[in-house]
Structure 1
Amino acid sequence: MRAGGNDLVTGHGLRELLRVTGTHPFVRWEVTDDLADTWWAAGDAVAFQRTRKNVRRIVNVMGTDDGVTSLLNHLPAIAATVSPERRAFSVSVPQHLEPRLRERYRVLDGGDWEWFHTTTAPDEHPSHERVVPLDDVARAAEVRCFLEAHSPTADTEPGQGERWFAVEEPDGSLAAVAAWGTTRAGAPHLSSVAVDTRLRGRGLGRTIVGAVTRQAVAEAGVCTLGMYSHNDVGRGLYRSLGYEALCKWSSRPVVIER
């Protein structure tokens, strides 16, 4: 990515944003034409808008360390466009550069997470036959209870339009679940993967993630997912199934003095 010196340059349009980022998969699948109406560049870095469900627009900053640092210095100007009425707005930066964000601004509590992507289907396995579609509307209360007990940080609720899948016990109770939603740009996005804590270590996570990923790649050619960075077990599982962690983000509300 190269936009010139360290002065702030304003760009417009998804096509140009994809060009300057080398068609980075995160931009390709998380940014749409409306979000890319205005974006910014400085040095070898870009700042662009994205959104997640009901969250207000977020600014992601991507590029070389020096370029990202330059863009962080320009956050007040960016905030004037993205969030002119709010004192704080959400910013995501590469995790190793989060201290630079704190050096420059007052930063509130947020989260560290990683974005994974694959275009390769995992190998087929006989256990995938256990993965079945789940009626998350009719069984919404059951799914909520399962997530609360076995994955309380899961961020996808049943009954919101995602496709859900499950591994069931012989009596029909849930042993594992996963939701298949879509990114803003339409890629399959895996979330709320949960395995009954009493059954962990039996390969159920591998079974449900592998089966759903195979189907997603077969249908769309790609599958994505996000994961909180403290989940070392999940990271190992996803990598072993062909996912690559392309981005490691620190997401923080940043207070802008106006």
Structure 2
Amino acid sequence: MSDTPIRRLPAAALHERWGDDPFVRWDLPRPHVGDIWSVGDAVAFERLSHSRRIRSLTAIGPDDQVRALLEFAAAELPASVDAVSVERSQVGMLAEVFGDRLRPGGDWDWMWTTSMPPVVDAERQLVPLDDVADARDILALNEIGNPTAESEPGSGITTTWLGARAEGRLIAAGAIHLTQGGAPHLTGIVVHPDMRGRQLGLALIAALTRWSLERYGVCTLGMYADNDRARAVYDGLGYAVAHAWGSRRLAE
């Protein structure tokens, strides 16, 4: 453990010191809600997932300082914290720190852009969707195209919807949520399997990104690390990886 003492920080300190980090700036509430610990250049903080179902301990910083924070926080965490996230290069230390409490999780990237994407021809097929009136159709599309989609139609948490229909059937949909930091977050991009290869997914991403940039100046997203096809699309539209996360669940 580092010889520098670990400090518990006040809520405003996270953005004051680490606000230049895109993830801290745009994903996290201001002032922060939850515990914050720091040592040296590293910080660890509680974070609610966008689905609001997972409360994690997230750490950013150099390896030795992150390890010190994890070792300290492991004994301090409230029972409500049921996951831990670090850079994927640091995942190996989680088993050493949390031992039998560590459970499987996933690897994902948090991305962002301030670059306006070009217009895609297939955007001409897109129409606005209604969170309530179109919820049943969106849910049916999700079941066919992506059962793990986190757009949650009908819940009221979506800021804007776009989609495409063919002969009255919904064949593509995508949404923008707002992060706890108030930034637009691209989510729920789903295209019917029979309609893939027609640039509908690209059109949704480009149009929703442009909508976000025109109103907020930024757009963010999270993607599974092994989704190479999506990564190529996001890279091509100007998105950059701010953090390559390795997230693991914690047993009670």
Q: TM-score, normalised by structure 1?
A: 0.88
Residues 1:197 and 2:190 are matched in the alignment: no
Structure 2 residue corresponding to 1:69, chosen from 67, 70, 73: 67
Separation (CA, whole Å) in 2 of partners of 1:146 and 1:221: 30
Tell me the SS of whatever aligns to 1:74: helix
2:119 corresponds to which residue?
A: 124
Contact 1:12 1:39 in 2 (8 A): yes
* Deviation (angstroms), 1:12: 1.1
Distance 1:6 1:36, change over 3 A: farther
Partner of 1:110, secondary structure, is strand
Aligned length: 246
> 2 CA distance for matches of 1:19 and 1:221?
21
Give the Å deviation of 1:91.
1.2
Q: Which moved more, 1:219-228 or 1:171-180?
A: 171-180
The answer for the alignment partner of 2:248 in structure 1 is 252
* Structure 1 partner of 2:87: 94
Question: Deviation string for 1:162-184 (max 9, x for gaps)?
Answer: 12210222x12222110111000
Match of residue 54 from structure 1: 52
- Alignment of structure 1 residues 5-24 onto 2, 5 Å: 5-14=3-12, 16-24=13-21
Deviation at 1:5, TM superposition (A): 4.8
CA distance in 2, matches of 1:125, 1:237: 12
Amino acid at match of 1:168: R
Residues 167, 6 of structure 1: CA spacing in aligned structure 2 closer, same or farther, 3 A cutoff?
farther
Shift in alpha-carbon separation, 1:22–1:135, aligned structure 2, 3 A: closer
* SS at structure 2 position matched to 1:180: strand
SS at match of 2:104: coil
Aligned in 2, Cα 1:134/1:7: closer, same or farther, shift over 3 Å? same
Whole-angstrom distance in 2 between the partners of 1:59 and 1:242: 29
Supply the distance in 2 between the matched residues of 1:231 and 1:36 (Cα, whole angstroms): 31
CA distance in 2, matches of 1:36, 1:61: 15
Q: Distance in 1 between matches of 2:34 and 2:168?
A: 48
1:213 maps onto 2:205 in alignment: no
**TM-score relative to the length of structure 2:** 0.90
Match of 1:245, SS state, is strand
Larger CA deviation: 151-160 vs 25-34? 25-34
**Cα distance, 1:22 vs structure 2:** 4.9
- What does the per-residue CA deviation read over 1:172-230, in whole Å, with 9 as the maximum and x for residues that have no partner? 22221101110001111110111111222221111110011111100111111111122
- Equivalent residues in 2 for 1:39-50, closer than 5 Å: 39-50=36-47
Contact 1:133–1:165 under 8 Å retained in 2: yes
Which of residues 153, 176, 179 is equivalent to 1:180?
176
CA deviations on 1:145-176 (whole Å, 9 max, x unpaired) are 1101111221221112212210222x122221
User: How much does 1:116 deviate?
Assistant: 0.9
Distance 2:130 2:33 in 1: 35
Q: Distance in 2 between matches of 1:178 and 1:230?
A: 20
Show the 5 A alignment for 1:128-139. Answer: 128-139=123-134
Deviation at 1:253?
A: 2.3
The aligned amino acid for 1:182 is L
Question: Alpha carbons of 1:135 and 1:45: their partners in 2 closer, same or farther (altered >3 Å)?
Answer: same
Which amino acid letter does the alignment assign opposite residue 198 of structure 1? D
- The amino acid of 1:100's aligned partner reads M
1:251 partner SS: strand
Q: Which is worse superposed, 64-73 or 232-241?
A: 64-73
Whether contact under 8 Å (2:120, 2:202) holds in the other structure is no
Distance 1:140-1:9 versus aligned 2 partners, 3 A rule: same
Do the aligned residues in 2 keep the contact of 1:178 with 1:193 (CA within 8 Å)? yes
SS at match of 1:104: helix
**TM-fit CA distance, 1:11:** 1.2
Give, in whole Å, the separation in 1 of the partners of 2:234 and 2:248. 25
Q: Deviations over 1:4-30 (max 9, x none)?
A: 95431111133x322332521111122
Letter in 1 for 2:126: V
Q: Secondary structure at the match of 1:212?
A: helix
Contact (CA 8 Å) 1:206, 1:237: kept in 2 or not?
Answer: yes
- Structure 1 contact 6–70 (Cα < 8 Å) conserved: no
Instruction: Supply the distance in 2 between the matched residues of 1:78 and 1:8 (Cα, whole angstroms).
Output: 12
